[in-house]
Amino acid sequence: MRRVIFVLTSMVIMFLSGCEKYIFEKPDMPTDVSFSADIQPIFDNSCVSCHSGGIDPDLRPDNSYDALIDGGYVDTDDPESSVLYETLRGTHDTRATEEEKLYILGWITEGALNN
């Protein structure tokens, strides 16, 4: 019985010692993000083909900022919980690159200014 316990204990120790902890570093979030220079071009390239007035939010250049803010798509108190950001991380994941998603998160984090 001792031999079985010893063998099992040894196997568990060998198994656990082979585990590695992986740490994935999140890239730095951009700062000084401009809505007109950084965010709207993402919408123009990836979103306006569907969100051009028929599907909310309307992301055309003249309407996008108001549609996002007034429509409740942006939460500056909890940027990662913003509907816009959650949608890009979920159902629209392939519509934007990881860098573009970070720019959008950075813009929201900085207060979602119309700049």
Note the pLDDT tens digit of each residue in 89-105. 999 999 999 999 999 99
Q: What is the mean pLDDT of residues 13-25?
A: 64
pLDDT at residue 107, as a whole number: 98
- At 26, is the pLDDT very low, low, confident or very high (cuts 50, 70, 90)? low
pLDDT at residue 16, as a whole number: 64
CA atoms 77, 78, 81, 85: torsion sign: positive
Q: What pLDDT digit, counting tens, does each position of 57-74 carry?
A: 999 999 999 999 999 999
- Buried/exposed code over 48-68 (b: 16+ C-beta within 10 A; e: otherwise): beebeeeeebbbbeeebbebb
Triad 107, 112, 114: Cα angle to 5°:
110
